[in-house]
Amino acid sequence: MATEVKNGSPTAEQIAEADKYKEQANEYFKNKIYDKAIELYSKAIELDPNNAVYYANRSLANLRTELFGYALNDAVKAVKADPGYLKGYYRRAAAHMSLGKFKLALADFEIVSKRRPNDSDAKKKFVECNKIVKKIAFERAIAVDRPEKTLAEMYQSLDSISIEDDYNGPKLKDDETVTIEFMKELMQWYKDQKKLHKKFAYKILYDIDSYLRKQPSLVDISIPDEGKFTICGDIHGQFYDLLNIFEKNGLPSETNPYLFNGDFVDRGSFSVECIFTLFGFKLLYPNHFYMSRGNHESVNMNQMYGFTGEVTAKYNSTMADMFTQVFNFLPLSHVLNNKVLVCHGGLFSSDDVMLDDLRKIERNRQPPEEGLMCELLWSDPQAQNGRAPSKRGVGCQFGPDVTENFLKKNNLEYVVRSHEVKDMGYEIAHDGKCITVFSAPNYCDTMGNKGAYINLKGKDMKPSFEVFDAVPHPNVKPMMYANSLMNLIM
């Protein structure tokens, strides 16, 4: 058992024991068992708290599990422990990038490139990050001078697109929206790794934008006593697993309603197929198919984790801009039968939040770094009472007492959220009053987790859990379209 160093320097025996923990942690890391690796790096740090390598290694493991706040803290400690250890700066840059703080990341890459002027790898990372910073600055500059076009205006300029004679995929008539026949054909078309014609892709985006603009930030849903209702968590571009959910649980319909709880895109390399399938069903069954915004329905996340690159590769940058506008109008939360709040992230840093406050949120924007909208998208539950700074660096962590207080004030029974990988695809916390559901099995082809979805009936709103494994998919790796710099530093 590790003996924590309280004062002074560790003994030779403690240093040796810490190194053994590090070696064990490295093996778990290589095998992508990141939680165990983090646990063992932590034991090494207890024994030798001034070793920059241990902090840097734990930082990378936290990055792989999307704990960006923890990763940043560890990187800062690595730099403090040894200002000459350059991996500490790399880890800090990676954490800053994951949080969308590109200028801060650039400063770290600049430090490394100056200290290693002949290191081509360091120079490459600095150049790539500098490109991102300049691109963002340029886009902001032209946005000031150029009024943003609405999606309707964009669509009108694309309306005359012709359909090639050899295109034999799913089609929509000019005066109609999607049908069940179109959706079945579309899913098979995508399953065969074919692309929906851009004319129809644009039409789906225009139609969904027109619909979502009229929706509130919090949507109330009524479920009949004997009616089944399904809640799915993160999909993250895993199209073939999405098809498996429909295979197991039935296609969406007026008698088989669904709510997909955010993070439809990014990381998985079939995000285009996922989002058009989900948008199609939303158009087909607007009162029986629901979608909540997740933290990955945002520009920074999409640019870093693949969706923008995928849309640009499969279509063009104009369509990527259109998605940005559409995502801004996705509802932020849902309430089922006045009893259950469903949101992507979690609860709040304030004790006085009411459902009417969520209804009043102005959501047509990129997620801010604080406030109700941010916390709905980013927060996570914790086991202990009270609140703590977010392990992700955004939002907050909230305990059982926070959940209890919120539910009591708003006359609700429990909260359903997503946002976190769980080994069994779901987790019940806070005395059954905070449920996590995650629907991307074997996340990123590495995590080995199950996927899950929740079924409930209106008469009692009691959740039941359906757990499933990942299914095979074409040989296209996750993060295929992610920003090249992310692959260099992660």
Amino acid at 470: A
Is 296 tagged catalytic? yes
The tokens 């069994």 sit on which residue?
A: 424
With beta carbons less than 8 A apart as the criterion, state whether 483 and 302 touch. Answer: no
Query: Helix, strand or coil for residue 25?
Result: helix
Catalytic residue among 197, 236, 288, 296: 296
Give the C-alpha separation, 11 to 62, whole Å. Answer: 28
Say what the alpha-carbon torsion angle 194, 197, 200, 205 is, to the nearest 10 degrees.
Answer: 70
Q: What is the DSSP letter of 360?
A: T
- What is the Cα–Cα distance from 347 to 382, expressed in whole angstroms? 11
Instruction: Report the distance separating Cα 37 and Cα 177, nearest Å.
Output: 50
The CA-based angle 308-309-315, given to 5 degrees, is 85
Rounded CA Rg of the chain: 23
Amino acid at 182: F
Strand, coil or helix: 472: coil
Q: Beta partners for 72?
A: none
Catalytic site positions: 296
